Amino acid sequence: MSSTESTQTVIHDIPEAAAAPEVQRHNFWVMALYQISLRCGWIFKTESIVMPAFLDALGVSAWVRGFLPLFNRFGQSVPPMLLSADVQEARFKKRVVFSTMILFALCFFAIAFIWNLSANAWWMPTVFLFIYAMFFMVVGVHNLAARAVQGKLIRANRRGRLMLVGNVFGAVASVGLAFWLFPKWLPTDGPHNFFGLFAFAAFMFVISAFIALVVIEPEDTGCSDHRASRRLQNAWRDAKRTFQQDSRFRRIALVGALTNTSIMLFPHYQPIAKEYLDLNLDNLMLWVIAQNLGMAAFSMVLGPIADSRGNRAVLRLLLIVMFATPLLTLWLITEPSWGGNYFWIIFVLVGMTPFSIGILFNYTLELTETENHPRYLATLGLVVAVPAILSPFASYSIDFFKSPTPLFTSVSILLIVAWLLTFRLPEPRFGETLSE
């Protein structure tokens, strides 16, 4: 391939201080254990299953559910953009990971206790959404720091393997916990105990926080010229500079924004299954298990592909699954006699959206040096959040049309466009450059 930017042929990897074989082995397995324990907590607050069911229990409508993706992506974009310089200047990124994980736990302990005290209060949906918004603001900073740690400590051709180990063993452990605990807290007969569900998630977040401290991380000396008093100006300057300086980043940002339109559908899979197929909360455990085992199965295939052939190839495969999922959903809900028997397949496929976000960020890590990772990651996070801003309005279309068809079909079309655009992406792993 020819190029207009010869400097783009540089392949970036980890600093020499983190490259010793014994340090690599230690950090790989610590980070894998961290991801496994995080999955064991996250399964009890799954965005596509548990949280919509919780809002259903609070009696809200579709447009209110639309705030879940909005808070999710806003929290994972704007706060990281504003605080990327602080993360970049942090001497030890693992300390940022630890502190944000503790805040994860506090948020879900708060939701659990408020539910236990005032589950039926009229103000409960508002308070929950406020805490949930705060939670995802913390998640955004956490993810930025965690990905910066991964980019700093794990070689590019081992990140797919790390994703495989974290997802496979995380799925096995979290599914075991779900199989054991979901029937206790969400029984077929009797009241649903969201207190136990969320308190356990918080407990697992605390465990993850302490595991994160065990990685061997070389100290950074700080390399940013930012000032905390000018965060917004500096954040905008960083984002603008990233777009202007790297044409490869502009392309992955567009693909990422289109890919993330799929998140607008997350809060609606469980409610439309309930409405069109008469499937109730008794199916939650099956769906959660299906989603996590599906992610594990895909990881076993896609992780090695990411390491051997690069993240671009994996992204292409994922997008095929992702644009087919909404269309399959629409087909199943038109077959009430048997569609409910196979609706669990949807949650196997839905698990590919979080996987695709990880691939997008792993691709971005390979575009630049380690010291630029927080800036690149934060800017990509900002871009992929754009579709989520429209989520409440898009979700209102379900109320307006009395059907999910317009929204689900539109998202499928946008995902097809994203898939086509991947054929214009270079693969930085092999030093590919942009074509003329």
Report the percent of the chain where pLDDT is more than 90: 36
> What local confidence, expressed as pLDDT, does residue 106 receive?
97
pLDDT (0 to 100) of residue 31: 92
pLDDT value at 236 more than 80:
no
At 12 the pLDDT is: 54
What's residue 294's pLDDT?
Answer: 84
Q: How many CB atoms lie within 10 A of CB 387?
A: 23
Query: How does pLDDT run across 130-164, given as a tens digit for each residue?
Result: 999 999 999 989 988 998 888 888 887 788 888 88
Domains of the chain: 14-217+234-430 (1.20.1250.20)
Position 404 scores a pLDDT of 93
* More confident site: 378 or 255: 255
Q: What is the pLDDT of residue 229?
A: 46
Which one has a higher pLDDT value, 231 or 216? 216
More confident residue, 419 or 367: 419
How many residues does the structure list for the chain? 436
pLDDT at 167 over 60: yes
Q: What pLDDT, on a 0 to 100 scale, did the predictor assign at position 3? A: 40
